Amino acid sequence: MMNQYPLWKYLLLVLLILFGSIFALPNLYGEDPSVLITKRTTGIDDATKDRITDLLKQSSISYKTLEHNDGKVLIRLASADDQLAAVDRIKALELFKNNRNYTIALNLAPATPGWLQSLGAAPMYLGLDLRGGVHFLMEVDMDSAIKRLENILMSDMRSHLRSEKIRYLGITRNSNGINIKFRDADNMDKGQSALKREFKDLDYITDEEAMTVTAKLTEVAIRNEKRSAIQQNVTTLRNRVNELGVAEPVIQQQGDSRIVVQLPGVQDTARAKEILGATATLEFRLTEGTLNDWREAKETGRVPLNAKLYHERNGDPVLLKRRVIVTGDQINDAASTIDSQTGSPAVSVRLDGKGAKKMGETTRENLKKPMAVVFIENKIETKMVDGNEIKVRTRTEEVINIATIQGQFSKNFQITGLGSGEARDLALLLRAGALRAPVEIVEERTVGPSLGKDNIEKGFTSVVIGFVFVLIFMMVYYKTFGIFANIALTANLVIIVAILSLIQATLTLPGIAGIVLTVGMAVDANVLIFERIREEIRNGNSPQASIHSGYAKAFSTIADANVTTLIAAVVLFSFGTGPIKGFAITLSIGILTSMFTAIMGTRALVNLTYGGRNVSKLSI
């Protein structure tokens, strides 16, 4: 008999609709205004959690739940007003005042029930235009980028001159460039020739009286360094935002020295600013001298030429060699872990090929000698002095770990001596990469949730109005077949939402526009099929033959139209940015699902109703 499906096709359709319904369901539950409290070092203990609970009860602040997991406390509240009141009271608690170990952040926690979470179902993300969030405009400190490059060149020059066995008195840097002082004219000539061969991006000026060669970066080298600095900073910021778990951020260059960062869903900017602006990196150096030498250097201020004075976190002095073994730029991966021997927090580090080679050579040649890990952080702060804003640059350098080299290692090793929170943050920063140059937030805007709520309501209303008008038209004009099309259209919307939720895509206003367009295109396919069936009936064909012919002959036209639109959507996604990508994603998914539901879905309903029996008339 004509127009019949095998049982497996009906089961496949039922399973797909059931799957779509489950994974689309979390979007109906919304989000709870929440307060997230974390501690940098050991996590929040039960006693602190109890104090927070008592405070909320004493303040008569009603909350839905208070969850204490993984050393964090998440408080779900009924409204935004309760959320702000809870934050104010918690911050006023003596325990949290001026205590940088704690982070108290406003948050939006999904209200998805536990049974859906256990299935891996989660709501789709909402973009900045719908959910609200923060907008940062960051200025890249180009002077620091040039200074960093000159410091690297100074270190490389020392190594190169030593390898060439050319004697020199010292290498210093000032506003004119890098100054290399030699012992005599012969060494100066040899040194200048060797440096010119190795470092070609520099201009050289010779001062024969002072026995000094001044090397200065060319304009091309400065321009290339600035371009590299902003490109690496954009990449690093994107990696850090991904580590923070912010969905679909916008991170892009603006002008020659600025970067725009938009973070949807972020309410409290403290944590985001801390991670985005941090320029933490590491240096690995061998120690110089003994403990007595370190103390003497601190007391007298006299430091050997080949060493530099540092301090540990407790203030104790340490002399380290000027030669850097490995820097944070050569770290490929880092993860927070636990040291198997001591049980203390640690950071597991993996170096790239160049760094692994240098570390391997150093540890082989310096067995039983101490090696130190230096933590370096650059910050730019804006302060008011006599009514004027000035930028203050600070650089923190402290030794976080000194360990004796017990055996040769190269690519993989651990850093200890950190608290658990510090280990997590350091691993995040190292994994995401170091900023090439410090950044300062020069503009910060918060997009309020009221704007997002208004956009969501209008977008939802537009979808509903268009959807209802299509349903009414199809049901009136095509009768029973119109009802089939309406059922398929509803299933199509459910499956689109489910896929967007499953891949954790971000829904924006352009994305909603893509869904509205998909509704029209899905109906268009059914109109083509139904009109073809009516034409076959007018030509005198039987109802069963008309159904079969209608679906068969309309398929090529539907495929052509949808494939053409899909190509356009792929091009939009490839070359577009931000909102354009959101539109392209929803449109692409909608095209694929609508072809499935409009052809296979309605055909299954038609086959169930009319297939396998004698029919004299179709309700179309």
Give pLDDT tens digits for 134-160.
888 888 888 888 888 888 888 888 888
Looking at residue 355, its pLDDT comes to: 83
Looking at residue 428, its pLDDT comes to: 66
617 C-beta neighbours (distance < 10 Å), count: 7
Burial class (CB in 10 A: 0-12, 13-18, 19+), 209: exposed
pLDDT class of 66 with cuts at 50, 70, 90 = confident
Share of the chain above pLDDT 90, in %: 4
Question: Strand 125-126 to strand 506-507: parallel, antiparallel, or no bridges (unpaired)?
Answer: parallel
pLDDT class of 507 with cuts at 50, 70, 90 = confident
CA distance 452 to 53: 31
Looking at residue 90, its pLDDT comes to: 84
Burial class (CB in 10 A: 0-12, 13-18, 19+), 363: buried
Strand partners, 260: 137, 252
Looking at residue 619, its pLDDT comes to: 86
Structure tokens at 301: 């201020």
Nearest by Cα to 277 from 257, 261, 294? 261
Looking at residue 270, its pLDDT comes to: 63
Contacts of 536 (CB under 8 A, 6+ apart): 545, 546, 549, 550
Burial class (CB in 10 A: 0-12, 13-18, 19+), 4: exposed
Average pLDDT, integer, range 517-539: 86
> Range with the lowest mean pLDDT among 182-186, 213-217, 575-579, 600-604?
575-579
CA distance 61 to 82: 7
CA distance 83 to 92: 14
Query: Does residue 51 carry a pLDDT above 70?
Result: yes
> Range with the lowest mean pLDDT among 42-51, 151-160, 528-537, 561-570?
42-51
Query: Does residue 182 carry a pLDDT above 80?
Result: yes
Nearest by Cα to 372 from 437, 326, 420, 436? 326
| pLDDT tens readout for residues 290-326 | 888 898 888 888 888 888 899 887 788 999 988 888 8
Burial class (CB in 10 A: 0-12, 13-18, 19+), 290: exposed
Looking at residue 279, its pLDDT comes to: 60
Structure tokens at 8: 């497996």
- φ, ψ (nearest 5 deg) of residue 62: -80, 135
Structure tokens at 599: 């052809």
Better-scored residue on pLDDT, 267 or 192: 192
pLDDT class of 71 with cuts at 50, 70, 90 = confident
- Distances 368 to 128, 250, 342, 404, 405 between C-alpha atoms, Å: 55, 49, 20, 6, 5
| pLDDT tens readout for residues 75-130 | 888 887 888 888 888 888 877 766 656 777 777 778 888 888 888 888 887 777 77
Looking at residue 152, its pLDDT comes to: 81
Nearest by Cα to 568 from 549, 543, 591? 591
Strand partners, 577: none
Looking at residue 324, its pLDDT comes to: 86
pTM metric for this prediction: 0.60
pLDDT class of 381 with cuts at 50, 70, 90 = low
Number of H helices, E strands in the chain: 17, 23
> Is residue 294 a contact partner of residue 319, using CB atoms and an 8 Å limit?
yes
Strand partners, 394: 379
CA distance 435 to 39: 25
CA distance 257 to 143: 11
| Cα–chain center distance at 422 | 19
Looking at residue 115, its pLDDT comes to: 87
CA distance 374 to 398: 6
211 three-state secondary structure: coil
What domains lie within the chain, and their CATH numbers? 7-25+448-610 (1.20.1640.10), 31-110 (3.30.70.260), 142-221 (3.30.70), 278-446 (3.30.1360.200)
pLDDT class of 22 with cuts at 50, 70, 90 = very high
Q: What is the mean pLDDT of the chain?
A: 81
Average pLDDT, integer, range 177-202: 88
CA distance 20 to 32: 24
> Range with the lowest mean pLDDT among 103-112, 200-209, 359-368?
103-112
Query: Does residue 577 carry a pLDDT above 70?
Result: no
CA distance 427 to 278: 13
Strand partners, 392: 381
Contacts of 454 (CB under 8 A, 6+ apart): none
255 three-state secondary structure: coil
Looking at residue 200, its pLDDT comes to: 84
Strand partners, 374: 283, 399
- φ, ψ (nearest 5 deg) of residue 102: -105, 140
pLDDT class of 378 with cuts at 50, 70, 90 = low
Query: Does residue 489 carry a pLDDT above 80?
Result: yes
Looking at residue 449, its pLDDT comes to: 55
Nearest by Cα to 361 from 461, 284, 452? 284
Average pLDDT, integer, range 382-411: 75
